[in-house]
Structure 1
Amino acid sequence: MNYLGAYLGCLLISAVAQASLVSNSNDSLVLLTKTLDAIEFALNFFHQEHPNLNLDAVIGTRMVEGQFKVLLRKLKAHPSQNAQISAPMVSRIERLQRIAGLVSDEALPYIATFTPKYYNEIGPIIQEGFWEMAYPSRDFDPDVPVWRYEEGESLMEQRSDDCLAEFFGTGKKSKEHCKISDDCWDFMTSPGYNSYSLSHQIFYFEIGRQFGCYSQMLVKNVRNHQKPIKDLQEQFCKNMLNEAIVIAKNGFPQRKQDLFMEQAALCGILGYREFFTSDWLEPILSWQDEVFGCYRGELVFESEVKLRDGVRSRRKREERPLDHGCLCHRTTVALAALGQYVRYITEYLQLLSSPAL
């Protein structure tokens, strides 16, 4: 795979192993431009559709806004490493960060009006600044175990949402922030999940920590004699990567594209750069509608989503079809994933500019 975010110091140690990297800065700049074009196109589509966006759509636009703020701080903190990244390119990232924030702000009153219960329960995750997470880039420990991949979901989305509400004090049982039940902790940190169930676990860790519940999470973690939270996140993302590789090897089936992009978005935020390759970026770019800027695909109905035990699982965050056959959730996970690609390509270009190399 072409590791866009791999540190160039590794090239000096293992030139052969890294030979599949994008060959030069020009190729990387072309990919960066194409990725920013795709983000701008999708944001413009969401801007036009903002009265029709659901809460999940704004998670994606807030991710772009927050992650671009983090990226811009890094770019401005190390100007000597920005020789490969022009001032107009930095200005463009700033502009897209502002547009992502504008789209989010525009959609909020509609979401609060049309889905008030859902908004009140987990609305904090779509407020400005929530997704300004700054995890360092890293590679997976090769010794992290990967469990056997198994089709089917392990959890119902409503239960996942109920557990998120415990962080915010908006659940049925308690109005106290960060009051985590044993049931939720056990359910949301158990190994062996795949697909969206696994991505919900990563989501759970990220949201709990960002909202300020880390000390309570740590107490649960220690009392249950689990691996450290950082190690749990790494294991979950390593298994996500394994599933992403399976999806890629199978030719990116349309019904898996949404999940594939969600995996890159969530684990990319945590710094795991092995999700980011030019071989995977090009297909994501190709899935974008050339006329409207959205992402289309086969609509998965609630009745088709099953748990591993065969029970039907109602997905509250099922796709919302928009005009022209566009899909709300698929477009927002594409935005979130492409935002992470911008991070890793610019990181790669910064390292190309490092005077030590």
Structure 2
Amino acid sequence: MNPALIALATLTCVSANQPKLTEVLSALEKATSFFESTYLYLDIDGVVGFRLLQAQLGHVMKKWSLSGPEAASQFQKVDDLLRRLDFTSVKAIKAMKMNGSKYSNAFQQILHVDFWTLKPGWMQTDTKMVYTGVRDSGCFDEDFSDRCITQLLGTWEENGIPCQDFDTCSSLMMALNCADYSLSHQLLYLIVAEHKRCSNIFGARHMDSKSSLIIQHYKKIFCSNMMQRNLEIEKKDFPYFQQDLFLENVMLCGYVGFSEFYKARWLEHILRWQLQSGCFGKGDKSGYLPRGERDVFTKLKRVKRREKHLQGGCSDHMTSLAVGALGGYLHFYGTSYNIAQSLSEL
């Protein structure tokens, strides 16, 4: 490509990203204010997205690539958010420890900022990996998923050993033709296995290049199907009862490096879902599903999320997913990787 054209394309990409960054930062500032006012009432599922956001912001600070009239103020906002999140996260984790619930204690490790390590570069999903059919009866329930993940973390019992594989966990957590929340739990299982370097679940002694290739292959399978699910949700105009699943797919697949989940048109919808208080949830929407339809969907998805509905129609789980997803958008638009990818597609 002509050097002058490259320079022009770079400037165009940067200028196009800055308004999006401003909107994302504004949404994250409001969500962080909500976090600061409600942290005492949140459990793991309500805090983990903010912790992932903290890791994303830290990475953005190191890899910031934008310049121009708004870039300095945007960078300062990132720095301010990072400080606020660190301060409130420490208080939230302390409050959870004092509460001492078995569930919170088992998953404390995923609240460490170092758990959420972002890797450079982006990948693409593959439509050829989309399942032609999925299991109607579901692959596993939430309790089974929790047990398998805690076996990897080593928190399945007091002084437990990490990277254990009991109860046929690896075979089910990497089974094909699963759908909806089972898929996102399978991806989380891989994220934990990779972080803990549990090569044994892939039949290897060490986390070598072969193990890494196996992990990447399964990530691509799962996220290709999660992308297909999100496109189906979009086609239905994002019904409220599927927004939580949609956000979970964006947060996790975006985090592991699939850039297609950061579509600009999806960002517009996510920003519209934020309530005035800064949270995400039902609010006063008249379109919220009646009880009977909610029960049908819960039966179909087979995995019932732990979720707290707070004052004003706020969902702690949905808010956590939304900030994790928006932090991914900030990482995507605010670092050089997005510019390099945009240029490669010209």
Displacement of 1:282 in angstroms is 0.5
Q: Which whole-Å CA distance do the structure 2 matches of 1:103 and 1:305 have between them?
A: 35
1:83 Cα offset (Å)? 2.9
What does residue 130 of structure 1 align with? Answer: 115
Aligned-residue identity in percent: 28
Give the aligned length.
327
Structure with the larger helix share: 2
**Do residues 275 (structure 1) and 266 (structure 2) align?**
no
2:299 corresponds to 1:318: no
Shift in CA distance, 50/175, structure 1 to aligned 2, threshold 3 Å: same
Question: Who is 1:203 aligned against?
Answer: 188
Shift of 1:131: 1.2
Per-residue deviation at 1:43? 1.0
Q: 1:180 to 1:31 in 2, by over 3 A?
A: same
CA distance in 2, matches of 1:277, 1:305: 26
Amino acid at match of 1:331: T
Matched, 1:113 2:113: no
Are the equivalent residues in 2 in contact too, given 1:146–1:238 (CA < 8 A)? no
RMSD: 3.5
Of 231, 235, 242 in structure 2, the residue corresponding to residue 256 of structure 1 is: 242
Return 5+ residue gaps in structure 1 as ranges.
Answer: 1-8, 13-22, 76-80
| TM superposition shift of 1:143 | 4.1
* 1:163 partner letter: C
**In structure 1, C-alpha distance between the alignment counterparts of 2:341 and 2:128, rounded to whole Å:** 32
**1:74-100 CA deviation, whole Å, 9 max, x = no partner?**
22xxxxx43357232222212212222
Matched residue, 1:286 = 272
In 2, Cα distance between equivalents of 1:89 and 1:44: 18
The CA distance in 2 between the partners of 1:300 and 1:319, in whole Å, is 17
Q: Which residue of 2 aligns with 1:333?
A: 321
Return the offset for 1:351.
Answer: 2.0
Structure 2 unaligned residues grouped into runs of 5+: 7-11, 283-287
* TM-score, with length taken from structure 2: 0.83
Query: Residues 132, 98 of structure 1: CA spacing in aligned structure 2 closer, same or farther, 3 A cutoff?
Result: farther
Number of the residue aligned with 1:78: none
Pick closer, same or farther for the CA change 1:205–1:352 going to 2, 3 Å. closer
Which amino acid is the alignment partner of residue 69 of structure 1? G
Shift of 1:220: 6.3
Question: Does the 8 Å CA contact 2:59/2:331 hold for their aligned counterparts?
Answer: no
Query: Could you tell me which residue of structure 2 aligns to residue 62 of structure 1?
Result: 51
Q: 1:159-238, aligned counterparts within 5 Å?
A: 159-172=144-157, 175-181=160-166, 183-210=168-195, 212-219=196-203, 228-238=214-224
61-70 or 347-356, which deviates more: 347-356
**What is the TM-score of this pair, normalised by structure 1?**
0.81
Do 1:169 and 1:175's aligned partners in 2 also have CA atoms closer than 8 Å?
yes
Partner of 1:36: 25
